[in-house]
Structure 1
Amino acid sequence: VNAAHSFYNGTTTLPISDEDRTPRKRISKTLNMTTSPEEKRKIIGDTFVKIANEVIGEMNLKPEEVFLAQGTLRPDLIESASLVASGKAEVIKTHHNDTELIRKLREEGKVIEPLKDFHKDEVRVLGRELGLPEELVSRHPFPGPGLAIRVICAEEPYVCKDFPETNNILKIVADFSASVKKGDCRSYSYVCGISSKDAPHWESLMFLARLIPRMCHNINRVVYVFGPPVKEPPTDVTPTFLTTGVLSTLRQADFEAHNILRESGYAGKISQMPIILTPLHFDRDPLQKQPSCQRSVVIRTFITSDFMTGIAATPGNEVPEEVVLKMVAEIKKIPGISRVMYDLTSKPPGTTEWE
């Protein structure tokens, strides 16, 4: 089924607002025009169901005799505040496999989810018990919504009133830090970016990544910015949406990074390695008023046993520094890439994925 066009232009129905408790609904923006992570997940989940229903019709199947099989895991249901997992949980983020349309099918007994009571590490144990090939069992997880949630979409920078104060604190903590925003005041926190004129001292950077979120509670993620010191932190963003060009750039960066990791023989040491595309264009002279037109990539290595908590891989320790530097060099060759960053954040305070 070639459904790319349907997904790009997919929409869903949403509450009028977060505060509105009435049954009133509004139509979301299309997937290729929204910047909201929640909307992206809901549109993808609901569009999948709509396309599945179209295929059922084309195959002349009886809807009442068709079931939807999903690889839903317990954390998906917990984070989506599904009643299947808990009657008291609050929504952390809606998963594509637990949208309103999916819940309606579940209530009708039309959804088969054999893994819904298990976590990722337990599923791998089951896979080995069943004799599945190790390359399948130990393969890095990939998010259901795909690269859509690895593109930080934005039209304008999110700078709240506490931004100057946060930046001042960071300049005291580190020689130079630039904090940038990846969400809004209600639902996300700042990202702290650290750059330096000397080669990175990874143990010190990891220490800062633990210290900074404790000192600044509105920061939940710390990254190292490769390259020369950032003289002028970006104050605006490159307008970024889920378009074919943007996704193509991320796809190329993702391919280069994972190809290098596989060739190094260290893929098995890393539990997961999301590659994130951010709307940040560094190294522009503010006096020349150059428009923001490039984007930057984040390498997010993650080591965990249960995927509920975990740490970033320290270059020179869990993964060779030359492997990381080779990733940076290859990603920098991709047209339209401004800088490459390395995510130093543990979980918590950060999440595995950025959205």
Structure 2
Amino acid sequence: MSRLSPTEATSLGHGSSLPAGQPVEELALEREVATDEVVVLDYGGQYSQLIARRVRELGVFSELLPHHVGVDEVRKRKPKGLILSGGPASVYAEGAPRLDPELLELGIPVLGICYGMQALVLTLGGKVEGAEVGEFGRSQLTVGEHGRLLAGTPDTQACWMSHRDTVYEAPEGFTALASSTESPVAALEDVERGLYGIQFHPEVVHTPYGQHVLTTFLEDIAGASRTWSAANIIDEQVEAIRKQVGDSKVICGLSGGVDSSVAALLVHKAVGDQLTCVFVDHGMMRQDEGEQVIRAFRDQFHVPLVAVDAEERFLERLKGVSEPEAKRKAIGAEFIRVFEEEAAKIGDAKFLVQGTLYSDVIESGGGTGAATIKSHHNVGGLPDDMEFQLVEPLRALFKDEVRAVGAELGLPEKFVWRQPFPGPGLAIRVVGGEATKERLDTLRAADFILQDEIRKAGLYRELWQSFCVLPDIRTVGVQGDERTYGYVVAIRAVTSDDAMTADWARLPYDLLEQIASRMINEIREVNRVVLDITSKPPGTIEWE
């Protein structure tokens, strides 16, 4: 059987509707260990967080802050460097985000990317104008002078562009380093002042020398020590958890996924038996998953755990609910009610641990002016009257960092590399209708077959996510010379690097045939199987 060649879809759309970032107090990590930091200011770029992620991959701690955060907030972090992100606006348009000139006087190197470069140029008196032709996608960069920023890269190289405005003249004191088809000035620098700019996007995989350019800025120009690691995260978060919780009791909403599992182990490392994990079986888990989670945490990790069978109450709560946001909020609220009941039983625990990730926060629209793509049950789905104080040690981390932390904590590989599974469970994969027990059982059986065949084919680790969706429709079929009227199962399989973008997976045809054949033959209620070939964007990974 042929192997899958995963790809990463990181094309940058102009005018993204994704939020520009979170308030500083929500995203800032509690940091006690002195590690070098580079601040990324977010000017609304669709993938601004990817810049911060790439910087961390290179071993330098990075935080993404909103562009309007203010000079004092940046200064107090004592960063080694500052990166200005891309963004959807035109720098000369009314109401466009502006660059505070004081940020250029902090005495630290500054790198502007795309909109960030244009804002830098405009602020310092250069010429930025709208081009007759936009430049989106792959482009050819021609390097006239390598200077300091582009040292060690070829004279001609591929890069990824996403802009309509263009820099036509560099400000006084700058050297123009490179051009592209539609960009007379595609890279520039003022070494004396420590100011640098590139029109292309080094953070995406379509720019082959992007990581090289970022490394040059971080190491050679900013002089940042590349010491950021999973071990650093553990040490800092253990200290932060102890400081937040004190001697209070804590409960953790444990689902068994990598996020909640890592969060639970981090908190247990910090406060020991002050923590009680609460595993809620809401009847929407994958086949046999609940038993696996309970056995692992009780027998292997020896973490205090309470298992709650809550299937009936969740199904009752979801009766008549078909709208996806209403489903998520109903499930999120019911989780909190269960946690409150269990907290009272163990002695009035005041803190609730959640495995919330940065991508959850982004998609739930937590920042000022942020668009809600979908409410995650553990972010936008939380009830307003919740009395718990949240402990979210992973809130500012990316998925790959969480997995690295999990491995460092000794989490078994099958947990570390478990594909993401939504907290609301299979309920949000019953699309367009009520999540009844019959539909959930049908979907659970289909998902088991999909996962079984994906693992047999050796593709599980190559996929970011693979799952089934059960739309609220039936189609006519024929089996054994008789008419059938059964459910449609949609297969969704994607490759991704961080869940912020995803490409549909090119599964082998013979594998798809085997999956479809098993579903139709083994599940009486199913008579048709289809494949979702939508990437993100424009779609999301989950359907609801």
The structure 2 residue matched to 1:275, chosen from 461, 468, 475, is 468
2:536 equivalent in structure 1: 347
Shift of 1:76: 1.2
1:329 equivalent in structure 2: 517
* SS in structure 2 at match of 1:45: helix
* SS in structure 1 at match of 2:488: strand
Residue 91 in structure 1 maps to residue 372 in structure 2: yes
Q: Are the aligned partners of 2:450 and 2:467 in contact in 1 as well (CA < 8 Å)?
A: no
Going from structure 1 to structure 2, the CA distance change for 1:75 and 1:257 (only over 3 Å counts) comes to same
The structure 1 residue matched to 2:363, chosen from 72, 79, 92, is 79
Shift of 1:103: 5.8
* SS in structure 2 at match of 1:325: helix
The structure 2 residue matched to 1:298, chosen from 490, 514, 526, is 490
Unaligned runs of 5+ in 2: 1-307
The residue type equivalent to 2:537 in the other structure is P
Shift of 1:124: 1.8
Q: Are the aligned partners of 1:280 and 1:338 in contact in 2 as well (CA < 8 Å)?
A: no
Going from structure 1 to structure 2, the CA distance change for 1:43 and 1:331 (only over 3 Å counts) comes to same
Structure of larger gyration radius = 2
* SS in structure 1 at match of 2:529: strand
The structure 2 residue matched to 1:110, chosen from 389, 394, 408, is 389
2:188 equivalent in structure 1: none
The structure 2 residue matched to 1:252, chosen from 445, 448, 455, is 445
Shift of 1:283: 3.5
Q: Are the aligned partners of 1:153 and 1:242 in contact in 2 as well (CA < 8 Å)?
A: no
Going from structure 1 to structure 2, the CA distance change for 1:109 and 1:340 (only over 3 Å counts) comes to closer
The residue type equivalent to 1:46 in the other structure is A
The residue type equivalent to 1:98 in the other structure is V
Quick one: distance in 1 between partners of 2:491 and 2:381? 33
Shift of 1:101: 4.3
The residue type equivalent to 1:314 in the other structure is R
Shift of 1:151: 0.6
The residue type equivalent to 1:311 in the other structure is D
Q: Are the aligned partners of 1:256 and 1:331 in contact in 2 as well (CA < 8 Å)?
A: yes
Going from structure 1 to structure 2, the CA distance change for 1:152 and 1:95 (only over 3 Å counts) comes to same
Going from structure 1 to structure 2, the CA distance change for 1:141 and 1:344 (only over 3 Å counts) comes to same
Q: Are the aligned partners of 1:34 and 1:40 in contact in 2 as well (CA < 8 Å)?
A: yes
The residue type equivalent to 2:352 in the other structure is L
Shift of 1:134: 2.3
Quick one: distance in 1 between partners of 2:338 and 2:412? 31
Residue 9 in structure 1 maps to residue 316 in structure 2: yes
CA deviations 1:109-168 (Å, max 9, x no partner) are 7110000011222222332344433222111111110000111133xxxxxxxxxxxxxx
Superposed, 1:1-355 pairs within 5 Å as 1-10=308-317, 31-57=318-344, 59=345, 61-62=347-348, 65-82=349-366, 86-99=367-380, 101=382, 105=386, 110-154=389-433, 241-283=434-476, 294-315=486-507, 320-333=508-521, 334-355=523-544
Quick one: distance in 2 between partners of 1:265 and 1:245? 31
Shift of 1:293: 5.0
The residue type equivalent to 1:138 in the other structure is W
The residue type equivalent to 1:336 in the other structure is E
Shift of 1:41: 0.2
* SS in structure 1 at match of 2:327: helix
Quick one: distance in 2 between partners of 1:54 and 1:322? 49
The residue type equivalent to 1:279 in the other structure is D
Quick one: distance in 2 between partners of 1:281 and 1:243? 15
Going from structure 1 to structure 2, the CA distance change for 1:104 and 1:117 (only over 3 Å counts) comes to farther
* SS in structure 2 at match of 1:273: strand
Quick one: distance in 2 between partners of 1:305 and 1:78? 16
Quick one: distance in 1 between partners of 2:388 and 2:447? 38
* SS in structure 2 at match of 1:246: helix
Shift of 1:32: 2.5
Shift of 1:332: 1.1
Quick one: distance in 1 between partners of 2:381 and 2:331? 12
Quick one: distance in 2 between partners of 1:255 and 1:34? 25
Q: Are the aligned partners of 2:394 and 2:402 in contact in 1 as well (CA < 8 Å)?
A: yes
1:214 equivalent in structure 2: none
* SS in structure 2 at match of 1:47: helix
* SS in structure 1 at match of 2:476: coil
Q: Are the aligned partners of 1:46 and 1:99 in contact in 2 as well (CA < 8 Å)?
A: no
Quick one: distance in 2 between partners of 1:132 and 1:113? 18
* SS in structure 1 at match of 2:441: helix
Quick one: distance in 1 between partners of 2:441 and 2:470? 11
CA deviations 1:311-339 (Å, max 9, x no partner) are 11113xxxx32222111111112112131
Q: What percentage of residue pairs aligned between the two structures are identical? A: 40
Going from structure 1 to structure 2, the CA distance change for 1:54 and 1:128 (only over 3 Å counts) comes to closer
Structure holding more strand per residue: 2
TM-score, normalised via structure 2 length: 0.40
Shift of 1:296: 0.2
Q: Are the aligned partners of 2:474 and 2:485 in contact in 1 as well (CA < 8 Å)?
A: yes
Going from structure 1 to structure 2, the CA distance change for 1:259 and 1:100 (only over 3 Å counts) comes to closer
Quick one: distance in 2 between partners of 1:44 and 1:109? 17
The residue type equivalent to 1:125 in the other structure is A
Shift of 1:67: 1.2
Quick one: distance in 2 between partners of 1:33 and 1:95? 20
Q: Are the aligned partners of 2:487 and 2:527 in contact in 1 as well (CA < 8 Å)?
A: yes
Quick one: distance in 2 between partners of 1:38 and 1:122? 29
Shift of 1:60: 5.4
The residue type equivalent to 1:48 in the other structure is F
Q: Are the aligned partners of 1:279 and 1:294 in contact in 2 as well (CA < 8 Å)?
A: no
Quick one: distance in 2 between partners of 1:35 and 1:131? 40
Shift of 1:294: 2.2
Q: Are the aligned partners of 1:68 and 1:111 in contact in 2 as well (CA < 8 Å)?
A: yes
